[in-house]
Amino acid sequence: MTHRLRHARPEATELAELMKRSNRYLLLALGGCTALALAHPAVAATFPKNSAGFPIHAPTPWEWWFQPAASPIQKSIDWVMQFVLWIMFGVVLLVAGLLAYVMVKFHASKHPIPSTTTHNTLIEVVWTLVPALLLIIIFVPSLNLIYQQSDYKNPYMTVRVTGHQWYWEYDYLGAKGVDFTSYAVPPNELKPGEIKQLSADHPLVLPANQKIVFQITSGDVLHSFFIPSLGVQRYAIPGQYWHQWTEIDAPGIYYGECNQICGMNHDNMPIEIVALPMAQFQAWLTEAKADAAQGNVPPIHKFEVLAEAAAAKSAAIAQPGIRLASSTSK
Amino acid sequence: MSATALHDEHADHSHQTGFIRRWLMSTNHKDIGTLYMTWAIIAGIEGGVLSMIMRMQLAEPGNTLITSGQTWNAIVTAHGLIMIFFLVMPALIGGFGNWMVPMMIGAPDMAFPRLNNMSFWFLFMGFIFVNLGLLIGPGSGIGWTLYPPLSDSTFQPGPAVDFTLFSLHLAGISSLLGAINFIATILNMRAPGMTMHKMPLFVWSILVTAFLLLLAIPVLAGAITMLIMDRNFGTSFFEPGGGGDPVLFQHLFWFFGHPEVYIMILPAFGIVSTVVATFSKKPVFGYLGMVYAMIAIGFIGFVVWAHHMFVSGISHDSKIYFEAATLVVAVPTGIKVFSWIATMWGGSIELKTPMLWAIGFIFMFVVGGATGVVLANAGLDTDLHNTYFLIAHFHYVLSMGAVFGIFAGFYFWIGKMYGQQYPEFWGKVHFWTFFIGVNLTFFPQHFLGLAGMPRRYPDYPAAFAGWNYVSSVGSMVTSVSTLVFFYILFKIFTGKQVLADNYWGEGATTLEWTVASPAPHHTFEEVPVIR
């Protein structure tokens, strides 16, 4: 690395040398960053809990991987992502290594006479076939993932999700009349434990450990129903219904956002999901149906009361948070 | 007027003509190329300023630089369209293509010089219109993908969106005429002895690009014409209320949009091949493989469009097909990357500024390509579609791919185009500051995307603050780097050097290096013959 920059002015040479050295450090730093990005944060995340004792599955500061997976689909996505990324990381590393090698080894200062080789059939065949093989290796698990995601038959329940400018509407197809809207909580009305641009006034209430199908559509423009930690995303398209399924692993609060440009409040129509243990969910649904039958708005906030009761009960038997038999029996 | 008089008049135009005649009515491929380059720089400044505004707004949550989501969306839209249609395409195709293709194939000019002039002025009008789309009323806040129903008159009333759509029509006509011109020139006007398989790779890249434009632009034109009719004449091609289908627009748009991606990157491939060979003092390794890899990329580019729609209205089986087809693109792309490295292998490498940009291109493009393979997986798109992971991916291939290619070409050819060499030291400062700046800007965006931050958000939950701040700092570094570039431009335009015909020496073997620097108005005194 003693190469001298021929056209550099004298006072510039020192800085130029520094830049050349920084070249190496930069490559190291970039490699380090990439390695850091790829090392999987498999540590069991501990979530803060809300007043009712539910873990809040929200994005965390400086996060550099997926939000911890909370559904079978998201676990598969997480796995395939690591699989593909490690392969691609190897490819990037190989190319970076080769580039660094040729830049040093065949620098004009060390290698003044260039070779005249312009063809080598064997190596050209190799660098065509090896990448093709790698792609086939990637394609297999990826194909399984597509099949897994497409299997939305025989759900426990179906919720029709309708995107509107700028709120979501949740219609419980199996429970007549349970159909409500969900707006972002305005910043000045946020209660403790609620998160700006993620918390909704009337969250979507779902049972944990059951197969849920979202039947997604829109009342106006395109939206996208996106819940990263549950492995759910689908455009809401007016005039069409598209299905996505998930199964929430444990009771808790999960967040998503609208992910397709939909006008001026695109960033302000979050998705908040409260997953309840089955018993509490049934209780909530009964009340919601009764209220709907009377023409009232379903008791959107009653789940909080139920949840608090459940939390108190579990605290009484010295268990933190919500733990139910159904979550271990699977 | 006799033939002699005509000839005499012809003989003394060129440099002696007045400003208006030379620049507004130009039919010379070099002058038109210069016009394209100049306009690309102007558009690049505007697109860059818009991105600085966005990064300042996103530097921390709750910023109030932009108070209206509609204004934000209009800026996002204009940034995308300006960078694609008025920076990258004019610089690579209109600028370097016009300047270099006729010289490289030994032709006196483009096949249709007046058409060439029209191409540029259509583009100029398109640029005016895209700005009207940004500035009129509340602006057109629809994203560069223009998806209806948001772009329908119900949701975006007023003329702004119509200006944006007509801007694309104008830019499209410009590109289409340019493509026809390039195809006619390259197929018919090569010097004796220059067979197709002896053409420089940059010429090949422009030829493949021209065919992509020829086939893709009319589809875009059809789609936006239907959209304009939906907006203004009560049709319902894409309006579900009248039996239309919003997903149809997405298919049409991406049937154009995906080839468009290769339209932006293929000419950069051509420049990088040229630069890498020149500064390795070796011919390109595997020339035929390189040519047919580009043709393969162009062909496959037309059959992968719906990978942009994996979470939209698309069936299970379509996902499988489009994923498989998309993965295949990586094979010819790999051939190109490995051939560049093999070109350097055994060479005698000089790390001059153009070579730094070219090597930077290869590395950054491979990073962007790697995340491209990730995004090709339909199942993973569930978590990555429309997030900042995607933003990072396409800025790695465009902001660091295509733009690095543009800078490589600029430093490589500026002496030939203007007759003044750039200052080598400042060229390297520009490269390193830009390299650090863009990586600092875009690498953290991978993390934001993985954590679930959606694109086109003027404000975001507080959890995303950290990496957004880093990204904004990176964009500051990039803009300081751009100031270095302006200083370099100043040094070039005030320089008083006398440059050799072939100032790069033995590695530069194409025909433009056989003529003076700057290249004379009429390139060749006699027809060059290629052995």
DSSP letters for B83-97:
IIIIIIHIIIIIIII
Beta carbons of A198 and B461 less than 8 Å apart: yes
Q: Is the pLDDT of residue A194 over 90?
A: no
Q: How confident is the model at residue A44 (pLDDT cuts 50, 70, 90)?
A: very low
Predicted confidence band of residue A6 (pLDDT cuts 50, 70, 90): very low
Q: Is B141 on the interface with A (CB under 8 A)?
A: yes
Nearest by CB to A59, from B285, B289, B451: name it: B451
Please answer yes or no on whether A132 and B331 come within 8 Å at the CB atom: yes
State residue A290's pLDDT score.
84
pLDDT-derived band at A241, boundaries 50, 70, 90: very high
For residue B286, give how far its alpha carbon lies from the nearest alpha carbon of chain A (Å): 5
pLDDT reading at A36 higher than 60: no
The mean of the pLDDT values for chain A is: 81
Tell me the average pLDDT across B143-155: 94
Residues in chain B closer than 8 A to A142 (CB atoms): 323, 377-380
What's the mean pLDDT in B175-196? Answer: 96
Among the residue ranges A21-25, B28-32, B82-86, B183-187, the one predicted with the least confidence is A21-25
Q: Helix-strand-coil percent breakdown of chain B, rounded to 5?
A: 70, 0, 30
Mean pLDDT of B347-352: 94
For position A19, what pLDDT does the model report?
Answer: 47
Q: How many residues does chain B have?
A: 531
For A256, counting Cβ atoms within 10 Å of its Cβ (0-12 exposed, 13-18 middle, 19+ buried), the class is buried
State the Cα–Cα distance between residues B519 and B503, nearest whole angstrom.
13
Indicate the burial class of B518 (C-beta count within 10 angstroms; 0-12, 13-18, 19 or more): middle
Contacts of A35 (CB under 8 A, 6+ apart): A89
Looking at residue B238, what DSSP letter applies? S
Q: What's the mean pLDDT in B296-312? A: 96
CB proximity under 8 Å: B 455-514 to A: 455-467
Contact B338 A127 (CB under 8 A): yes
Distance CA B154, CA B151 (A): 8
Given CB atoms, is A278 within the 8 Å cutoff of chain B? no
Indicate if the pLDDT at residue A152 is higher than 50: yes
Nearest CA in chain B to A184: B461
Other Cβ atoms less than 10 A from the Cβ of A233: the count is 26
| Alpha carbon separation from B275 to B36, B282, B294, B404, B480 (Å, rounded) | 21, 11, 17, 12, 26
Confidence at A15, pLDDT banded by 50, 70, 90: very low
CB pairs under 8 A between A and B: 309
Chain A residue with the nearest C-alpha to that of B348? A108
pLDDT at A25: 53
State yes or no: pLDDT of A176 exceeds 90.
Answer: no
Residues 6+ positions from B101 with CB-CB distance below 8 Å = B29, B107, B110, B182, B185, B186, B202, B203, B206
pLDDT one-digit tens code per residue, B461-473: 999 999 999 999 9
Q: How far is CA B190 from CA B111, B156, B507, in A?
A: 11, 49, 22
Amino acid A175: pLDDT: 87
Tell me the whole-structure pTM to 2 decimals. 0.89
> Which residues of chain B does A143 touch, with a Cβ-Cβ cutoff of 8 Å?
320, 323
Please give the pLDDT value at position B119: 96
Segment B340-366 shows an average pLDDT of: 96
Q: Which of B22, B281, B428, B455 is catalytic?
A: B455
**Is any Cβ of chain A less than 8 angstroms from the Cβ of B284?**
yes
- Tell me what pLDDT residue A300 has: 55
pLDDT per position as a tens digit, A208-227: 999 999 999 999 999 999 99
Q: Closest Cα partner for B161 from B178, B183, B144, B179?
A: B144
The answer to whether B174 touches B120, Cβ cutoff 8 Å, is: yes
Q: How confident is the model at residue A2 (pLDDT cuts 50, 70, 90)?
A: very low
Closest chain B residue to A144 measured between Cα atoms?
B379
Task: Kindly name the residue from B99, B144, B147, B396 that is annotated as catalytic.
Answer: B144
DSSP lists the bridge partners of residue A234 as: A225
Residue A259 with chain B: CB contacts under 8 Å: 385-387, 454-455
pLDDT band at A29 (very low <50, low <70, confident <90, very high): low
pLDDT in tens, A64-113: 999 999 999 999 999 999 999 999 999 999 999 999 999 999 999 999 99
Annotated active-site residue B317? The verdict is: no
Residue of chain B with shortest Cα separation from A164: B150
Residue of A nearest to B321 (CA): A143
Mean pLDDT (whole number) for B355-376: 96
For A117-142, what is each residue's pLDDT tens digit? 888 999 999 999 999 999 999 999 99
What contacts B421, CB < 8 A, 6 or more positions away?
Answer: B414, B415, B492, B495, B497, B499, B503
Answer yes or no: is pLDDT of A154 > 50: yes
Using an 8 Å Cβ cutoff, are B128 and B122 in contact?
no
Q: Is A127 on the interface with B (CB under 8 A)?
A: yes
The contacts of residue B397 (CB under 8 Å, 6+ apart) are B261, B265, B364, B365, B368, B369, B372
Residues of B in contact with A108 (CB under 8 A): 281, 348-350
Q: How far is the C-alpha of A152 from the C-alpha of B209, rounded, in Å? A: 42
pLDDT tens digit string along A301-314? Answer: 544 544 555 555 45
Catalytic residue among B34, B51, B167, B175: B175
Residue showing tokens 């035929």: B288
Question: Which residues 48-107 of chain A have a CB within 8 Å of chain B?
Answer: 58-67, 73-74, 76-77, 80-81, 84-85, 88-89, 91-92, 95-96, 98-99, 102-103, 106-107
pLDDT computed for residue B16 by the predictor: 64
Q: Please name the residue that has the structure tokens 């839209």.
A: B77
Residues of B whose CB is below 8 A from A6? 424
Q: Strand A242-247 vs strand A157-164: parallel, antiparallel, or unpaired?
A: unpaired
pLDDT confidence tier of residue A322, bands split at 50, 70 and 90: very low
pLDDT value for A45: 53
Q: Could you report the per-residue pLDDT of A62-77, keeping only the tens digit for each?
A: 999 999 999 999 999 9
Mean pLDDT in chain B? Answer: 93
